[in-house]
Chain A
Amino acid sequence: MSALRARALRKRYGEAEVVSGVELDVAPGECFGLLGPNGAGKTTTLSMCLGLTHPDGGEIELLGEPVPFRARQARRRVGVVPQFDNLDPDFTVRENLVVYARYFDIPENGIKDRIAGLLDFAGLAGREDARINTLSGGMKRRLTLARALVNDPQLLFMDEPTTGLDPQARHLIWERLRRLTQEGRTLVLTTHFMEEAERLCQRIAIMDRGRIIAAGTPRALIAEHIEAQVVEVHGNGYDAWMERARSLAPRVERAGDTVFVYASDASPVLATLRGQSELSYLHRAASLEDVFLKLTGRDLRD
């Protein structure tokens, strides 16, 4: 049985269909990443899976419960980390967790130990009585994560869990999320950090303009959609060089003043660059980001 299953999910706002036939299958215990540019429909999809936004069509099953019909029952066993922190600014760190636990009807005498454990997990032990506005962005994010765990959920939805955080804070969140999957919890996260998806997610779906346009393991997506090696070239005369490169590699793209060359074997391309003083280049393995850009295009989305 899937932890989360969606079939033919649709949502329309006015003229625009923001979700057009999305299908999802998330296995219990896996970390699943929903990737896509801004406005792809990721957040709306999550909101429908939680039963908060009513779909115009399709079926959803969350932890065995039909959604939105029995969404409330499903949410008992689900945690949510939203894109923008909505901690209670009038409360301390501890009060935020105590008040949130009440929404789940958790008996008050049992919550003390649990909160101590959650604060430990979030690296906030000793900050119980701190006001929310005295916390750093990373601390707020970790407290939001702790809040999402207050009901010991089987499945966690996370909408861009590390957006806006510095690398230290991001790595700490990643480490905690891995711990959660080791505990057997199912994670569903949206992100547009490819590195995050590659590090954390067993499976990924790339979403654009309301549709899932590719899905699979990060490795399989790279193997299936893109040549194994990339050469990035920039500097004076890149235009002329680009014409030469076209005959040596199956795919050559330009973005601004950088040329991207994709090839399963880049050695003929690299040979033309050796001894060049005008052009600087970087030779690397293809990544998920290359797949993402190939599938969703290089145009700005905002």
Chain B
Amino acid sequence: MRWIAVWRRNFLVWRKLVVASVLSNLADPLILLFGLGYGLGALLPSVEGMSYMAFFAAGTLCSATMFTASFESMFSGFSRMHGQKTWDAILYAPLVIDDVVAGEVVWAASKAWLSGSTILAVAAVAGLASSPLVLLALPVAFLVGLAFAAVGLIMTVLAKNWDFFSFYMTLVMTPMTMISGVFFPADQLPRPIQIVAEVLPLYHGVELVRPLMAGRLPDDALLHVAVLLGYAAAGYAMAITFARRRFSA
């Protein structure tokens, strides 16, 4: 449990900068949710049996969680690892690189969970989620956070400079957001693209959160949870492998 000290270090920084941090993580998704929700929602009849706003709220929860986890693990993580050399300082103490990676992954997932659960709270207040089942979306948000934090940290420990992240953002995250059922149902897309979405983690987060917010238990829930857990575990293992190579070679 040595990684907890790393988590607490990041938490203390966050606490000092909490207003700017929460604002930047929530303003964008909420503006998008209510802007698109009202604007497009007026044009659309119900989507999958719910209002467009409710449909999109579930997508927003997942994509905001994904973006927070990814930004924290990549940009902030790289700044701590490379710019400030905070990881080096931690490694003089009786911690090893595995502890640092674990602390960073769980931290980024925690911050992402806060984004997701705040959006859930706003959605509930706006009357977009009223069933007690929505509480199950909270652990799902953490799991989505873990999956993207772990994958983001692979990018971080492989990165030589900041530009490296643009490739992942532009070539992976943006298209993934388009095809994973965030803005519109994924099954409208051609089958080959659907298959790509099903291999990626975001789709499985959306497939879990949307029914829960509508007050239903999701179909194939175990499969979706397993894919997210798989990304978290495999991403964590790979991040550790590359981090060891970077730090003790």
Contacts and interface: CB of A to CB of B under 8 A. Distances in A.
A79 B88 CA distance: 13
Interface in A94-108: 95, 99-100, 102-105
B248 A53 contact: yes
B248 A99 contact: no
28 contacts: A50-B92, A53-B248, A54-B248, A72-B94, A75-B94, A79-B92, A82-B89, A82-B92, A86-B84, A86-B86, A86-B88, A86-B89, A88-B9, A88-B13, A88-B86, A90-B13, A90-B17, A91-B12, A99-B5, A99-B12, A100-B93, A103-B2, A103-B5, A104-B93, A104-B94, A105-B5, A147-B89, A151-B93
B84 A53 contact: no
Interface of A: 50, 52-54, 68, 72-73, 75-76, 78-80, 82, 84, 86-91, 95, 99-100, 102-105, 147-148, 151
Contacts of A72: 94-96
Given A82-B88, A100-B93, A105-B5, 7 more contacts: A68-B248, A78-B92, A86-B86, A86-B89, A88-B89, A91-B12, A95-B12
Contacts of A90: 13, 16-17
B interface secondary structure, majority: helix
Interface residues of B, number: 23
Contacts of A50: 92
A contact face: mostly helix, strand, loop, or mixed: loop
A102 B84 contact: no
Contacts of A89: 84
Contacts of A91: 12-13
A82 B13 CA distance: 23
B249 A53 contact: yes
Contact of A54 (B86, B90, B93, B249): B249
B246 to A, nearest CB: 11
A100 B89 contact: yes
Contacts of A53: 248-249
B85 interface: yes
Contacts of A105: 2, 5, 94
A50 B88 CA distance: 12
